[in-house]
Amino acid sequence: MAKKKEQKTEGKKHPGGRPSEYKPEYVEKVDEYIQLSIKQNKTTTELPTFVGLAIYFDKVVNTLKNWGKEHPEFLTALRKLQAYQKRELINRGLCEINSRYFF
């Protein structure tokens, strides 16, 4: 037991948990996901979302949020995703309103 305690105090402390699987190319993957969602949007009701992105990456949403906290470039990509989502929701809402009154 004494050896384990000595090993922990020598050198760097382990931060705990698994090492991050984040890769810088994931920023480009967010853009790919957005473009794919926009392309699919013409035939389905799919919106670009955090949940959809998590599925696309095969991760949980909290992992994406943690990556955003640790990597500013990834956070920027996530904000871009949110902007596209908001735009689509607004446009669809306006289309729904217009179709009720003008068609």
Q: Is the pTM of this model over 0.85?
A: no
Is 36 contained in some domain? yes
DSSP calls for 26-58: HHHHHHHHHHHHHHHHTTS-----HHHHHHHHT
Is 5 contained in some domain? no
Per the structure, how many domains does the chain have? 1
Q: b vs e for 29-54, b when ≥16 Cβ sit within 10 Å of the residue's Cβ?
A: ebeebbeebeeebeeeeebbbeebbb
The confidence band for 92, taking pLDDT boundaries of 50, 70 and 90, is confident
d(CA 52, CA 55): 5
d(CA 48, CA 34): 6
Is 93 contained in some domain? yes
Is 8 contained in some domain? no
For residues 87 and 73, the answer to whether their CB atoms sit within 8 Å is: no
pLDDT at 97 (0 to 100): 55
Is 39 contained in some domain? yes
Is 49 contained in some domain? yes
Is 12 contained in some domain? no
Is 16 contained in some domain? no
The confidence band for 9, taking pLDDT boundaries of 50, 70 and 90, is very low
Question: Which residues constitute the domain of residue 95?
Answer: 24-102
